[in-house]
């Protein structure tokens, strides 16, 4: 029963979250995203690892939430825009797949070849973005965030397994 509920929650997460997220003002969404990026990439920002994105735009899209943001690095600062920019590279995927990537339950390359993650535009720039994401040491995040990310990714991963609960119930009653 719990597995069935988890599967339903994971399968319907985007439709459940879409309206509440879209009710948040854009400036709140941008602030949360920018603060999150600064926290996750704190070390990379201090070391100047974002210079490859100088005066270039990365579009990040969560397709099933109908959300997109544009990220750039200009004048030694990370910028987030919600208005369309001329992106140099674009990453897009569905919510659950992006959670799995963030929680290191799925490899971006695997999802790319399964066509669940789309990377379009400047290939070299896309590879640098992917390498930067791979270089993040999750152990550097606050402990509470590490636990939350791990548990969320684990919940999504198990929920995407889609066990055949109907057959499990039938087998339980036939024994």
**What span, in angstroms and rounded, lies between the C-alpha atoms of 15 and 127?**
31
Q: What is the pLDDT of residues 73-106, one digit of tens each?
A: 999 999 999 888 899 999 999 999 999 999 999 9
Confidence at residue 46, expressed as pLDDT on a 0 to 100 scale: 92
Where do the structural domains in the chain lie, given as residue ranges?
Answer: 1-160
Confidence at residue 139, expressed as pLDDT on a 0 to 100 scale: 84
**Which of the listed CATH numbers 3.40.50.720, 1.10.3720.10, 3.90.1200.10, 3.30.1050.10 matches domain 1-160?**
3.30.1050.10
Tell me the pLDDT of the chain averaged across its residues.
88
Percent helix, strand, coil in the chain, to 5, is: 60, 15, 25
Strand-pairing partners, residue 77, are 74
Average pLDDT over residues 136-142: 83
Six token digits for residue 69: 């943001």
CA angle 141, 18, 126 (to 5 degrees): 55
Average pLDDT over residues 8-36: 93
């Amino acid at each position: 029963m719990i597995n069935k509920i988890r599967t339903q929650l994971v399968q319907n997460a985007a439709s459940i979250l879409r309206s509440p997220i879209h009710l948040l003002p854009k400036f709140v969404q941008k602030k949360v995203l920018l603060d999150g990026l600064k926290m996750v990439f704190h070390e990379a920002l201090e070391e100047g690892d974002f210079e490859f994105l100088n005066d270039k735009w990365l579009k990040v899209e969560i397709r099933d939430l109908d959300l997109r943001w544009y990220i750039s690095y200009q004048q030694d600062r990370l910028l987030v825009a919600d208005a369309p920019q001329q992106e140099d590279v674009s990453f897009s995927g569905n919510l659950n797949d992006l959670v799995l990537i963030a929680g290191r339950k799925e490899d971006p390359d695997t999802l790319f070849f399964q066509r669940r993650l789309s990377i379009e535009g400047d290939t070299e720039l896309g590879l640098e973005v992917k390498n930067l994401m791979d270089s993040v040491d999750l152990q550097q995040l606050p402990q509470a965030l590490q636990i939350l990310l791990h548990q969320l990714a684990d919940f999504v991963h198990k929920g995407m397994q889609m066990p055949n609960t109907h057959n499990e119930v039938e087998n339980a009653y036939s024994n």
